[in-house]
Structure 1
Amino acid sequence: MDLPFIVTTLTRRGLLTPGRPIRVASQLSALRRWGWSLAGELRQAAARDPDRPAIIDEDGVELTYQRLLDRAERTARSLRAGLGIQAGDRIGVLCRNHHGLIETIVAATLLGADAVLVNTGLSPGQLATVAEEQRLRVLVHDDEFAERVLTLPPELPRLDERAREELVVGALPGELHPPERDGRIIVLTSGTTGAPKGARRPTPNGFGPLVSIIDRIPLHTRDRVMIAAPIFHTWGFAALQVCFALRATIVLHRRFDPAATVAALADHRCDALFAVPVMLQRLLELPSPDPRPPLKVVAVSGSALPGGLAPRFMDVYGDVMYNLYGSTEVSWASIAGPTDLRAAPTTAGRAPHGTRLEILDATGEPVPAGRVGRIFVGNEMLFEGYTSGASRETRDGLLDTGDLGRLNADGLLFVDGRADDMIVSGGENVFPSEVEDLLAQLPQVREAAVIGVPDPEFGQRLAAFLALHPGETLDPEAVREYVRHYLARFSVPRDVVFVKYLPRNATGKVLTRELRRYFG
């Protein structure tokens, strides 16, 4: 990424404003010694703004950047002295969004250990598999997961919230030096269709990744930001990285509650909200806030935008919505701003500066505008492979996202769904997401999901699962007729199943494997 663009963007976002010389020098020294790991990001923030609030928890805990760094360092020293944790070891973190989660992740990177961010929605069996496959040396967990961790091998140390606090209070004196290797953040893939895989996230090597995001999403130094997206997920963790870099004040709640979120946004005068799309749907089910929170940015990612969600949300909260399309493996691919989303509500936007995005056919050749192909992405933060040793297909430095999509004549990206979600029904290619978007626009429908199921005559057929608003009813044949009116006959769902709610993981993605159980 070219230097003038970096300087211009950092200036626009307030990162190059003058400061006390001694603090600026300490800030630069921290980055030079510790690099761009989460530990380095926190150190530079504490050096420049030590007394600025870093984290505000819902239980009233407020930590400045200096205090947060001190607690993370104490945790690291205790992990090293008490459990022998060193560079290259792996620490499992099974926590919701609160200061203890962040302290533990930073402590791991201070030691050069890998932090394995464990999805809070995993079953006891899945958790045991993750602990074995990731070769965890210790698991740090919230108290609410005490019963779930009982299935783990007894020799694996487990630290609950009291034990985690004892690490801070009982830390022995000692100095921490930059580790011999950077600690990696290992994010578990969503596992919506199978077992989750560990993906190794790279450490940024400069301002480039930050600039790619804040050039398109107008976040500024010292903003107040609520991170509602789970930090164990790539999107929530990316929000944490950006906030540290911007020396922002981070507002956290352990669980997402729509009413509590709106209240916190107003009480803390938040400038920005990081969320997943289903959270915005839940916010819209509340009465319109009056006055509305002073948000300048609502950044969403993690799953596809349902049809019509973007304009409906912006009608209530203002034109402040930004949709980032990416994945655990490619980080980001494209970003859509309010203007894009007003013009095309389901678009994933355009590739930001420093990112290559191409739509390729089965032979690896680019396809014309409007034609569906495989989405390949190249940027500075492509993942380093799965912890199993597997990776993804690459072509000319671009990584396969696993998704199918198309670019329109204006260069906007539209994602049609996972390549393995596309079904062939009677010889026709059908994308369930197109039908989902249409069904989501029915006023009676709260949420919709469409999947492919086996069919003895056509090979596969579509099945639609609909959760309705309270008190609403729909007739299955009326649903089919509605789809038949707008789409081709092979897009009409043969099966229409009404459910109370769609099964989702903690990041809001629909668990399609749970839906397939309806059909044996």
Structure 2
Amino acid sequence: MVTDVIDVTAEFTIARQALWDVLLDPESYPRMFTGIGSCTRVEGTDGTVMWQVRAGSPATGVRDIELTLSVGRWYESFELRCSELGSYVAVRLRGDQDRTRLDITLFGVARIHPALDGRPDATATDWVKAGLRRTADVLSGTRSSVVVNAERSPLRRNAAVARSIAATGLVRADPFAMMRQVRTLQKWGFNLAGGYAASAVLTPDAPAVIDLGGGVRTFAEIDTRSSALAAAMHASGLRAGDAIGLLARNHVGMVETMVAAGKLGVDVALLNAGLSGRRIEEIVQRHRLAAVYVDGELEVLIRYLHASIPRVNTDGRPPVPERPTINDCIAAAPAEFPIATHPGRLIVLTSGTSGSPKGARRPHARGFATIAALLSRIPLRVEEIALIPAPLFHTWGLAALQLCTALRATVVLGDGFDAVACLGRIAEHRITTLFVVPTMVERLLDVPDEVRAQYDLSSLRFVISCGAPLSGATVLRFLEVFGDTLYNVYGSTEVSWASVATPDELRVAPTTAGRPPLGTRVAVLGPDLRPVPVGTVGHIFVANHMLFDGYVNSAPPEEADGMLDTGDLGYLDAGGQLFVEGRDDEMIISGGENVFPRPVEEALAHLPQVSEVAVVGVPDREFGQRLAAFVVRRDDAGLDSDMVRTYIRHRLSRFSVPRDVTFLPSLPRGETGKILKRVLVRPDATI
């Protein structure tokens, strides 16, 4: 048992002043001491500074407390006290420029940190010393910011893949069924085509896609129709190695087109329905697309394309009678087509939030290891019922479809997203898994409690979000309202996945991006492309077997030791969890200080008057750069610019206070839900 008073002594070959400067900043504690999820500075109107700390573990529970910090003698002693619990930590430093001795007294520490409650004194002592060692490592420059999940251990990785796949129920005990499944995958590849074909062998009559606007398709029907469509594509002159454009919303025709092209060996460029016609024309020319398969309502976006580029309608609603549809093609298809040596690839456009979208070639899955990676962090099972409102032309929507296909899941697809309608679909179809982008998470929370209570949501076990950061306030509220269903995936078009945060991890640290899945390595590197100390901000690099195959007509991101630069800045904490600070091109230097927009966005998201917020850097004549905040107020909210600035001044540094505060009815977003910050800075920017 932990006693009320514990004394800890430690010595380091670190200058006393340097150690003092770090320890006197409690905001650094979550990075160095395990089990501390967050520590936020709050300044009262009377100037009193409080530190709001979130600590605990999934097993012991999480506790929110407030601490005050008082300095005894500068560079010699300070104290952290929790008046509510009657606990304190007293720290005394002795030493010089070469060596420092710390004498620390803990009183009632188990009341502050639930994970230490009921544990021996030695556990608390070891916990303190481990945190102090990490603090010393930061000051000495120890290069430790690398975390690996069996990425370089084939034996461990293969064993973990086997366990993960077995847990899903994917592999049947029937050896003949397994042989048919393997032969089918060998024929078509471990992709969408192979997934639907294999499922057609095992569960031919099971519903594969429920198209809310076009009926139900079984696995056998999608396999048969996609083969016929592939034959029709071949008859039209398409050959393996060619590329087509696919401009469509979420529906079964879009799925069948991707599967058919994959069977023929034709690449598919997934065109973003939120882009302008001019952007799409540039992409069609840059990728030399041989044809465009397009929804009827979206043909307006390609009206200026050269007339020689064939158009094929995908949704059965052609804008002109002479436009062929995929149903017409399937009905008139020849009996056979040549099976490609290499399946066609999918080309996904980057989001273009900071510039023009680039086409990224997605690699083919590497067997069961690909799905086992995400399943190692998200325990999905075979034959889930999944709703995918996230756009299929986006990396996350496509990844969701690929994962569901491999698991023989029934996928429910519909056009657009409405939060109340989404709740109705969950109840009607007994949805178990919901794939969303963060703006959808926020919209679900905006539904009034009395409306949400009308729907039976008991089937929902997984709400998996990806595509942009979730604010800590949104995470905690979602867990409170929907229970422990939320999983936060961090990744990109270029690196696929990097990390996954589980509900347990999010309860302790709501802003965490989680830990790397199986077969993934994450490192935080400095300018010299070497790891930085744990807790230190640097560039996030990722390695896994699903790194993209390169951009089309663009230089790839920077590479180091087999890892790709995500373009984000962040850090690894003491427990190996990743935290993302923001895009490297979003950080500004104001008055010589590095300032990130995301902490300001996080702070403002906690205000009940704020519905949405985005913070960007703008030029400043005096300080070089400054922050500007764009805020969407909730209905009837009393909030003005001075209140926003005062609130941030009491929580963050003075350089984080946005000099400009603009209130908008809504923030500009792309089709995937990402806020287009470049449009906020330049309203005339082309999407």
Normalized against structure 1, the TM-score is what?
Answer: 0.97
Which of 550, 558, 575 is residue 410 of structure 1 equivalent to? 575
1:93-112 equivalent positions in 2, closer than 5 A = 93-112=246-265
Tell me which of 318, 337, 340 is aligned to 1:179: 340
Could you say which residue in structure 2 is the equivalent of 1:497?
662
Q: Distance in 2 between matches of 1:208 and 1:454?
A: 47
Matching residue of 1:120: 273
Asked whether 1:147 is paired with 2:300, we answer: yes
Q: Look up the match of 2:418.
A: 257
1:245-284 equivalences in 2 (<5 Å): 245-284=406-445
Aligned residue type for 2:392:
I
Partner amino acid for 1:435?
V
In 1, the alpha carbon distance for the partners of 2:163 and 2:350 equals 35
444-453 or 364-373: bigger deviation: 364-373
Does structure 1 residue 447 correspond to structure 2 residue 612? yes
The residue type equivalent to 2:577 in the other structure is L
Q: CA deviation at 1:409?
A: 1.1
Decide whether the 8 Å contact of 2:235 with 2:334 is kept in 1. no
Aligned length: 518
Superposition map of 1:19-30 within 5 A? 19=174, 22-30=176-184
1:354-433 alignment runs, 5 A limit? 354-433=519-598
Taking the aligned partners of 1:14 and 1:135, their CA distance within structure 2 comes to: 42
Give the equivalent residue in structure 2 for 1:7: 162
1:103-135, Cα deviation, whole Å (9 max, x unpaired): 011111011010100111000111111111111
Deviates more, 1:44-53 or 1:333-342: 44-53
Instruction: In structure 1, give the amino acid aligned to 2:471.
Output: P
> Partner of 1:319: helix, strand, or coil?
coil
Secondary structure (helix, strand or coil) at the match of 1:220 reads coil
Q: Once the 2 structures are TM-superposed, how far is the Cα of residue 307 of structure 1 from its aligned partner?
A: 2.7
1:182 to partner: Cα distance: 2.5
State the match for 2:493 in structure 1: 328
2:478 paired with 1:313: yes
Q: Give the deviation of 1:389 after TM superposition.
A: 4.5
Which residue of 226, 230, 255 maps to 1:72? 226
Instruction: Answer yes or no: is the 8 Å Cα contact 1:416–1:433 preserved in 2.
Output: yes
CA displacement at 1:517 relative to structure 2: 2.4
The separation in 1 between residues aligned to 2:595 and 2:548, in whole angstroms, is 30
Q: Equivalent residue for 2:145? A: none
The structure having more radius of gyration, on CA atoms, is 2
Distance in 2, matches of 1:24 and 1:126, equals 46
Higher RCO by CA contacts (8 Å cutoff, separation 6 or greater): 2
Q: Which amino acid aligns with 2:673?
A: G
Partner of 1:91: 244
Distance, in Å, in 1 between the alignment partners of 2:585 and 2:367 is 35
Alpha-carbon contact 1:75-1:171 (below 8 Å) kept: no
| Offset of residue 22 of structure 1 | 4.4
Q: Is 1:52 matched up with 2:52? A: no
Q: Provide the residue aligned with 2:117 in structure 1.
A: none
Per-residue displacement from partner, 1:417-469 (whole Å, max 9, x unpaired)? 11011111111111101111111111000010000011111111100000011
* Structure 2 residue ranges without an equivalent (≥5): 1-153, 317-323
Which blocks of at least 5 consecutive residues in structure 1 are unaligned?
none
Identity %: 48
AA in 2 matched with 1:345: P
Label 1:167 to 1:88 Cα distance change in 2 as closer, same or farther (>3 A): farther
The Cα of 1:335 is off from its aligned counterpart by 0.4
Q: Match for 2:168: what amino acid?
A: R
Aligned amino acid, residue 276 of structure 1: V
Answer with 483-492 or 382-391: which moved more: 382-391
The 4+ residue runs of structure 1 with deviation greater than 4 A are: none
**Hey, what's the Cα distance between the residues in 1 that align with 2:193 and 2:328?**
18
TM (norm. structure 2) is 0.74
What per-residue deviation string (whole Å, max 9, x for no partner) do you get for residues 19-59 of structure 1? 4x544332111012222122112211111111110000112
Aligned 8 A contact 1:71 1:168 in 2: no
* SS of 1:342 mapped into structure 2: helix
Q: Are the aligned partners of 1:11 and 1:17 in contact in 2 as well (CA < 8 Å)?
A: no
Structure 2 CA distance for aligned equivalents of residues 139 and 172 of structure 1: 18
